Amino acid sequence: MAKPKTKFFCTECGYESPKWFGKCPGCQAWNSMVEETESVVKTQGMNAPIFQSKEKAQSIINIESDKEPRILTGIGELNRVLGGGIVPGSLVLVGGDPGIGKSTLLLQTSHALTTQGLRVLYISGEESVRQTKLRADRLGALSAELYVLCETNMESIEEAIEQIQPQFLVIDSIQTVFMPEVTSAPGSVTQVRECTTRFMRIAKIRGIATVLVGHVTKEGAIAGPRMLEHMVDCVLYFEGERHHTYRLLRAVKNRFGSTNEIGIFEMGEIGLTEVENPSELFLSERPLGVAGSAVVASMEGTRPVLVELQALVAATHFPSPRRMCTGMDHQRMALIIAVLEKRMGMFLQNQDAYLNVAGGVKLDEPAIDLAVAVSIASSFRDISTKPYDVFFGEVGLTGEVRGVSRAETRVKEAAKLGFRRVIMPEKSMKGWKHPQDIQIIGVSTVADALAVALD
């Protein structure tokens, strides 16, 4: 017998090499090369009828530019994240920590689609059909058009798809599916890549909306090769803290809609329920009249979200003060502290600074800079902000407050929740009609904002 050959694959970019490297030559990532046995995929499997397409190349001028039809899932938050619904023939990848609620969400979605007359096939490689039935009983997701199969063999899955002819397909999870002609173990780089390629061809040729569930690593990224996220049409991350009941569904890639869109759910005994107004949820336990607290109007995709920022500045006896933050970029916080020291004359070199985005939300847009500066200054001076003030704006290194996008949407959300005053960049006040029931104050520097907020 011939000795089996081995190759090394990069889990980040899929780079192949006959020998091991500590640093990938393709993407320069460290310790990302894994060893796998070289395998040859049978030609018969790739030439199966399900893969044959009779389409011919067309001139782009002759192609009709109709909008993609969408299937409403019956869950408003999921429709928002997907850009208006599921596109037939699309391939969606859903990742999240174990026990976060991925299977619960997809089972509820499958049941909602069956109520519209669609046929759904739910394939579970980790749970038996009885375990899936127990979850369906608890969620009330029972329908004659919802078919459940416990299978991990790719050939058997293709036979089930050919027999049932579903319009919606769920694979839970892609790391458990394997192709018999590939000698690697299930979950390896080669198996995940080949199985995903097969599901992609099935989805595109047959027009089946397919959802793949992916495991995540300890760093929070989806396990398997990085190219897995490039192969699919949409990548969704299901986030949430174990100590909180709500969950965030975030889109980081979407070929049919906007990215960075979020949907918010609350986990209960009967499954996941939608949270239609997340701002009220995040501000429900906000203390009033406390130094270091500020409310920021942030944009998550197309949705405005009002979140509380909490800062604590305390004297330290150590040579180097601590800078800790949760829910935002640590480097951004250090930059704003440097601006307050240099431009505002605040002596923060002997002060520990802690910043927290209440509710466990992660904010990454520059528009939260002004609220961060106000909360840190409020805690340092021990002066509380007004309980009905909202802040947003980008802070520059010279202490200026720069304009941000969608100022009108942020102001309307603040007015809807009963806030009385908005402190925002002066340059963002032009070009839209101001509401009459809320006061808008434009500032051009951080000094102007602090003079208004901490008077």
Return binding residues for ATP. Answer: 96-103
Strand boundaries in 192-329, DSSP class E: 209-214, 234-239, 246-254, 262-268, 271-274, 293-300, 303-315, 323-326
Q: Which amino acid is at 297?
A: A
Read off the tokens for 2.
Answer: 């011939």
| CA distances for 122 relative to 55, 70, 72, 78, angstroms | 29, 20, 18, 18
| CA distances for 260 relative to 217, 248, 249, angstroms | 21, 11, 10
Contact 295, 371 (CB under 8 A): yes
C-alpha closest to that of 404 among 368, 380, 437: 368
Residues annotated in a binding site: 96-103
C-alpha closest to that of 88 among 237, 194, 175, 202: 202
Close Cβ partners of 76 (under 8 Å, ≥ 6 residues apart): 274, 276
Alpha-carbon distance of 349 to 352, in angstroms, equals 8
Burial 393-427 (b: 16+ CB within 10 A, else e): bbbeeebbbbbbebbbebbbbbbbbebebbbbbee
Can you say whether residue 84 is alpha, beta or left, with left for phi > 0 and alpha for psi between -120 and 50 degrees? left
Alpha-carbon distance of 132 to 120, in angstroms, equals 14
Alpha-carbon distance of 451 to 455, in angstroms, equals 6
The residue with tokens 């002004």 is: 370
Helices (runs of H) and strands (runs of E) counted in the chain: 12, 21
Alpha-carbon distance of 125 to 123, in angstroms, equals 7
Q: How far is CA 37 from the centre of its chain?
A: 34
Q: Which amino acid is at 350?
A: N
